[in-house]
Structure 1
Amino acid sequence: MPLTSLPDARRLGRRAWGRGRLERRTRTFLLSCLVIIDVSYSATAIDARAAAAAGLTVPQTGTTLSGYAGAASVVGLALAVAVIWRHRYPVPLAAAGVVGSVAFQLGPTAALIGFMSVVLWRPVQQWWMVGLPVAAVTLWRVWVDVTATPRTASFWRTLIEPASGSVPWYVAVILALALLAGFGGAGLWLRTRSELASANRVVAAERHQVSTLTDQVSRQAERERLAREIHDGLGHNLSILSVHAGALEAMAQRVAASPGGAADGTPRGADPVTGQLQESAKVVRETAARSVAELHSLLDLLRKPDDADLAAPTKTLRDVRSLIDESVTAGMPLIATVYVDDSLAVDAHIAQAAYRIVQELLTNARKHAATIPVRLTMSGSPAEGALVIATANHLPTQGPGRPAGPDLDGHRGGSDLDGAREGERDDARAGTGLSGIRERVERYGGDMAAGVDPYGVFRVSVRLPWAPPDPTRDAGGSR
């Protein structure tokens, strides 16, 4: 059996506890019945021995118990009820059984059950303290029984003595030792079984822990391998991109500062192409530098996923402004309206999710419709309890008046916004941008709609809660 398929130790413990509880109840019932049988036989034997001593026969004594035999019966029934609490008070039960046997001539069954419970539930030091008086009273009661007259007043003589003759003295010793060994051995066997069950639960818990640690180590090794591949591949490419962008920016600066003019007599410093080239190179270099910094943060998060400082959100709604400025600087025709009341009060994880959603939406628009104006709106407040993000842009056409078939990131054109889900199946040429946005939105309990309206405008609307849902409250509601 693989380690991961082992049952949970807590579930195994509850199952074993249920079975043990049923066994204890059945055992209690049987032991109480055994004490009642012993008491009934002892009370009858008391009157039978008294009648034999008075020279009467058993039928002449009638069916009513004498006062002494009745008192012994009441004490015996109390001992039978006390068996229920034998696991809590085994020593008092054994002591009460010894007193009942001595004072009321009862059988040693209750004392033997107390001794068995001591062996089962108490330390070894108490075995001898309880076992010696129980052994003595057991030997005495067995000797009294095998030597009693008449023969019908003796339990053991009716079982082992022939019709005539007497029982040797050593038979009483053997019977007493057998009773003591039987009850003590039963307690020892139950104790061993209980300790074995506890050991099995501990082993199951340790195996489950080992399996969990093994999975964690495997996942950590996979994260390390992934981080190493990302660092060696993407990090290297971003570094090269940053170096070449810096060289391109420096070259554009030298060209702009060189003497002379262009072919039409325009000074190089005022050449719009040179200026645009210099600005674009600067944007590429800065973006590559920020990408390298974010890449290092991502690698740290992969290597140390349990570090609270690394896993803490790093982006806020204030960073959306710089994101918009970067897009505009890169030449994207963007019209943005951001109105968020008390943005500092929004949950940090929601704020970072909103930043990533805006980033992905602008990236999609820049990738699929770079020259088409994009409208971005963001609004929300604590009173509304939500943060709403929306983008809209016309799709590029494939022909006269016909929008492109597969739209942004795997969504097809259509009049129904929710119909955009069907486009997610087209993975051949589609990306995963909107799918990732949808997953991020659903993770925080929000909703999203994306698609093309009848006017050929691709619209995306995202609604995030002002605060993430409370998992405790959801769990309580599901119950």
Structure 2
Amino acid sequence: MTGDKAEQTAPVFTGRRWFFPSALIHELDPDSTRSGRRPRRTVRDWVVDFACFLFAVLLGVLGAETLNDSQSIPHALAVTDQVLGALSCAAVWLRRRWPLALAAVMVPVGFVSETSGGVAIIALFTLAVHRPFRYVAWVGGAQAVLVPLYFWWRPDPDLPYLAVLVLFVVLTAATVGWGMFVRSKRQLMLSLRDRARRAETEARLRAEQAQRLAREAIAREMHDVLAHRLTLLSVHAGALEFRPDAPREEVARAAGVIRESAHEALQDLREIIGVLRAGESDEAGRPQPTLAALDTLVAESRQAGMKVTLDQCVTDPAGVPASVGRTAYRIAQEGLTNARKHAPGTEVTVSVTGGPGQGLTVSVRNPAPEGDVPHVPGAGQGLIGLTERATLAGGTLEHGPASDGGFEVRARLPWR
């Protein structure tokens, strides 16, 4: 099970990690990096960083040639400019770890060093990729403010002052826009990852809930079926125990009922265990009983020695929906089982009435037993299960003592 979950949550790019930035891999798959340490650079990171370094060095070399050709710049200032440019090019390798610090430092450095212009552009782009827009706005705004002062201090001999300002403002805006576009693409991938993981989690929860509901339904079936069969066994075994001098025919009939009930209970138990093992629904195995099987249920109860009166007034018995008929059958079965355990010897009345559009009413009622009745322990789980069954079918179920001291279970089920 653990292996299956790991395979479900594994990133889809496992075989192409070299193609993704290390920061994105860390966000998509945090378990791939050890805690407390930064993720290792991928092949793509090394290629991009080396390309940025070459770009910064190329612009630095072009700026150095311009400084050497200019006669208005002192030699000491030109040397200082080139030293700062070399240090800035080396600092490009730190742009992933400290993007904000590097971009902030490059604002004053780029103002006094012409050879550091490429590094300033790279640092601004990296800041736009890795940090929110408010940081980019502060750094980019500072650079935009210093651009007029820079070209007033160092005018370009080939372009007019206004044209140079417009060019650098457009370059800065393009750099910021490109970096924000890359950041938005990464955030989109992260959001799609989160959505996929949420979908997998919700699907797993739905599957677990469906499995739990199926097992609860199977448990209810187990209680309803086996309780009825085992109660028959208990009644006939008790009769044989308290009447050892019963006629041979009656003993043989009771033994036959015990054998048949035990066989049915074992068969039902095998089917339920088979469903649990196979993971199928509770509709596997034999067809589930419906309202048409109510006569057979009453006949079995009478054969066990109970006094049962069946009052069935249904307009269209064949048109009863299967789910409603099955619920009605289980209610009658549980009611007869409880009456046999808690009110032996009484006459139980099972009433089923209704029709299409009117609903179906199922009632199981028994009077108060006469004499002392041995206490039979019960947890009331059967009545709780019946209430859940009726609620799931869209109906209601009521149970409790009657006015004459007996007990009644009454359910109303929809029949549209």
**TM-score, normalising length from structure 1?**
0.44
**TM-score, normalising length from structure 2?**
0.50
Structure with higher Rg: it is: 1
